[in-house]
Amino acid sequence: MKKHRWLVRIALLGAMALVAAACAEEEEGPAVAPGAVDCAAVEFGCVEVGAGEPIKIAAEQTLTTPDAPLGNDQVNGLKLAIDYLDGALDGVPGQLLGHDVELIEADETCSAEGGTAAATELAADPNLVSVFGTTCTSAALGTSDAILGAKGILLISGSNTNPNLTAEGVHNDFYLRTAHNDKIQGAIVAEYVYNELGARTAATINDESPYADALAAVFRSVFESLGGEITTFEAVQSTDTEFKPVLTSIAQGKPDVLYYPDFAQVCGLVTAQAREVAGLKDTILMGSDGCASADALELAGDALDGWYRSGPDTSAFKQGDFYQNEMLPAYLEQFGVEAPLSVFHAHIWDAFYIWKAALDQVAVQNDDGSLTIPRTALKDAVYATSGYQGLTGTITCTPLGDCATDVIIGIFLGPDWPEANPDATPVYSDVKSLQEVSEAYGI
């Protein structure tokens, strides 16, 4: 694996003294409006990047837990995006506005506690421009989004999908995402099992994460709206390893489908153990993109055959010339893997480049080679993104931070999953918008 001079990893251990951010003096330059930027007068002030100094950004992702493949995939996507700033994926990072880019990695451990620790340390750096993350909703909702937002630091996620992150009255103004809203995924999964597979009864299992809890709830709501019956819904812990008692209880209701949109360990072990419960032999097993991990496939073992999983349908953009001939080969070479770990490297690539377009618009290039970056203006410019042709599709950000408003969700059937076969294609896919789902199901 190649080592990059712009990569800095920070350890989130111990407490760190808070550093007060100083507002920059007025500088003349090509801002949004002609003239000087009075950083003392604008909300959240400005970031000053000195001549010859790097623009600092961070990847707040899960890096050490069983779900680390999902976080590492986004870190890899950011590295490639920075590499491509000079127009070539050659392992040599490009520059932004004549400045190097310093990428800090912070481990949010896929938990509220980890998100709080990571965001607190990141927010203490007055020179940090923006953060790309988190991997897990639990590390963002009411934790990282609030902590970073209080300092006017943008948080842009390529994998958070919980509906509450962009819900009216809950959404933080400095939070956006290029990942889909799980209102879309939950609705498409429910429609698929009801309309295509003929399921009329269903049970769900969710772990304690906000991601799994919300996605299972959306599925149940839509499935019942379609005429289906929920026989039971169970909650487990992501650290659990023995699920046969829960599965035996679920089997009493004889559900046609068991839906468990959890993370890797629960996904894999539930799949393996469900096939050992007599009453679930014929039950359809369905997971979602939290299961998108080689670890989940390994834990499932032979039970992988016939296991359904939903997730973004990436087959369309993966056929594109740029992805096939430039991005994918660079990914495989630079990170020493046989295939990308998930779709999220593509989502975070798009997040980086809509952020870059906004930065190009609002950053003031001063005569001495320094930059002045107004925080609120940068946020407003990202929110103004409309019709951007990204790697994964057209991106238009809503006032509540959803930038992937029309989403294609695919249903994959094991063992032919993208994590096991880079050329895997879904057995079913559908495209929906947030507005369409909300109007159809009142969610």
Residues 165, 145 share a domain: yes
User: Could you count the other beta carbons within 10 Å of the beta carbon of residue 427?
Assistant: 13
Confidence (pLDDT) at 438 = 92
Looking at the structure, do residues 375 and 360 belong to the same domain, yes or no? yes
Residues 115 and 51 grouped into a single domain:
yes
One domain for residues 22 and 111: yes
- Tens digit of each residue's pLDDT (9 = 90 or more) over 82-122: 999 999 999 999 999 999 999 999 999 999 999 999 999 99
* 210 and 173 within one domain: no
Contact 228, 204 (CB under 8 A): no
Is the confidence at residue 32, as pLDDT, over 80? no
Compute the average pLDDT of residues 306-321: 87
Is pLDDT above 80 for 34? no
Q: Do 207 and 276 lie in a common domain?
A: yes
Average pLDDT, the chain: 90
pLDDT over threshold 50, residue 296: yes
**Position with higher pLDDT, 20 vs 362:** 362
Average pLDDT over residues 146-154: 98
Contact yes or no for 170/145 (Cβ under 8 A): no
What's the mean pLDDT in 125-133? 98
Give the CATH number of the domain where residue 349 resides. 3.40.50.2300
* 249-266: pLDDT as tens digits: 999 999 999 999 999 999
Average pLDDT over residues 136-144: 96
Give dist(CA 344, CA 65) in Å, integer: 17
Confirm whether 403 is domain-assigned.
no
Verify that 322 and 292 share a domain, yes or no: no
Is the residue at 281 inside a domain? yes
One domain for residues 377 and 233: no
For residue 143, the model assigns a pLDDT of 97
Domain membership of residue 1 (yes or no) is no
**Structural domain contains residue 2:** no
Q: Is the pLDDT of residue 25 over 60?
A: no
Task: Kindly state whether residues 90 and 162 are assigned to the same domain.
Answer: yes
432 bridge partner residues: 407
Q: Tell whether 402 is covered by a domain.
A: no
Inside any domain, residue 341:
yes
Q: What percent of the chain has pLDDT over 70?
A: 92
Q: For residues 390 and 342, state if they share a domain.
A: yes
Number of independent structural domains in the chain: 2
The residue among 16, 311, 275 whose CA lies nearest residue 161 is 311
Confidence of residue 149 (pLDDT cuts 50, 70, 90): very high
Whether residue 400 is contained in a domain is answered as no
The helix-helix angle for 182-191 and 434-441 (nearest 10°) equals 60
pLDDT at residue 37 greater than cutoff 90: no
Q: Each residue of 351-401: pLDDT tens digit?
A: 999 999 999 999 999 999 999 999 999 999 999 999 999 998 899 999 999
Q: Whole domain around residue 332: which residue ranges?
A: 7-181+317-395
Q: Is 8's pLDDT higher than 90?
A: no
Could you tell me whether strands 284-287 and 257-259 are parallel, antiparallel, or unpaired per DSSP bridges?
Answer: parallel
Residues 239, 339, single domain; the answer is: no
Sequence-ordered list of residues with C-beta below 8 angstroms from that of 150, at least 6 positions apart, any chain: 123
State the average pLDDT over residues 184-212. Answer: 97
Closest CA to 83 of 415, 307, 330, 302: 330
48 strand-pairing partners:
372
Does any domain span residue 418? Answer: yes
What's the average model confidence in pLDDT over 162-168? Answer: 95
- 406 pLDDT band, cuts 50/70/90, is confident
* In a shared domain, residues 174 and 186: no
